[in-house]
Amino acid sequence: MPTGRYITAQPPSAHDYTCPHIHLKSLFLTHSPTQTSMFKRQLSQLAIAVLWPLHLLPLPVLAALGQGLGFVLFYFGKRRRNIALINLGLCFPELDKAEQHRLAKAHFKLLARSLLERSLLWWSNEKRLARLIRVEGEEKLRALHQSGTPIILLAPHFVGLDAGGIGIAMRFDSLSIYSTQKNPVFDRLILRGRKRFGDQLLLSRQDGARSSIKAMRAGRPFYYLPDMDFGSRDSVFVPFFGVQTATITGLSRLSRAAGAVVISCITRILPDGQGYVVEIGDPWKNFPSTDVKADTQRMNAFIENAVRNMPEQYYWVHRRFKTRPEGTPRIY
């Protein structure tokens, strides 16, 4: 019987489960080289001291605070706001500027919610989290797991994915990739949060694909986040919202190497502080194929369709189109 629980590994290159990895101060300013490590540590400890009591609040109250913070970040976080507006303009050209602006503002409110609500994920007890995070389709994942089938959970970058990761971790011993944070205070906090429940395996980027394949074959579902710009290495250009987008081919290659079934794992933040829903999809049929690029295009098409269902919840502050085909102009 497989042991199963929670991991995110890097395909031939994969994304670490540290997302959305955007610090509040990065929305306003860049890191100053003159800052001392002591000041950074004290500032980090102060931030944690502010975050900790938030997990004691009712979720509707915390959600309202997050929306208020998002309103502030939208107007003062010029760089991230501009990235989001550029992305929305590329992906939703049918919307006029005012509609794109409204969508970006709604996104910032949800993004800020996800930041503050990490306090719940890091410090609330399991009983409370079980009430707040509902997993729909768990029986599909459990049936595959009990059969001994290696599993890749395709988890696109929706802002609630941290809650989704916790929801999976409370049910399965899983696999994910972790990148050490430059800030040691937050590094310890995030690591502790990831390992709160069960026996979670966190691999580093240096561990490579072989370790993740071994873990999947041992019964650990792989919480996999491939939809970011990781540069040109191990990537192909395939459409995403009609834009040729550098996309890693890891889903196809890992699935083939491990003999793994791919199922989607999409987390939705519910309105008015009602909690989260983690939606487990059906196993993908005829995947992988013999064409890695076609498989990668299929993945992007799936994610695009999911984004259209809740566009305000996708991670628009990431420079998804940073890597461009040779000879094409920069977007950002």
User: What is the reported pTM?
Assistant: 0.88
Q: Considering only CA atoms, which of 91, 161, 115 is closest in space to residue 316?
A: 91
- Tell whether 203 is covered by a domain: yes
- Tell whether 113 is covered by a domain: no
CA distances from 59 to 114, 120, 147, 194, 231 (A): 11, 9, 37, 21, 38
Q: CATH number, domain at 236?
A: 3.40.1130.10
- Tell whether 92 is covered by a domain: no
- Tell whether 210 is covered by a domain: yes
- Tell whether 11 is covered by a domain: no
- Tell whether 45 is covered by a domain: no
- For the chain, how many structural domains are there in total? 1
- 256 lies in which domain range? 126-313
CA distances from 24 to 16, 27, 31, 32, 269 (A): 19, 6, 12, 15, 20
- Tell whether 111 is covered by a domain: no
- Tell whether 323 is covered by a domain: no
CB atoms within 10 A of CB 163: 25
Each residue's pLDDT, cut to its tens digit, for the chain (332 residues) gives 444 433 333 444 444 554 444 444 444 444 555 556 788 888 888 989 999 999 999 999 999 999 999 999 999 999 999 999 999 999 999 999 999 999 999 999 999 999 999 999 999 999 999 999 999 999 999 999 999 999 999 999 999 999 999 999 999 999 998 878 888 888 889 889 989 999 999 998 778 899 999 999 999 999 999 999 999 999 999 999 999 999 999 999 999 999 999 999 999 999 989 999 999 999 999 999 999 999 999 999 999 999 999 999 999 999 999 999 999 999 99
Contact 19, 157 (CB under 8 A): yes
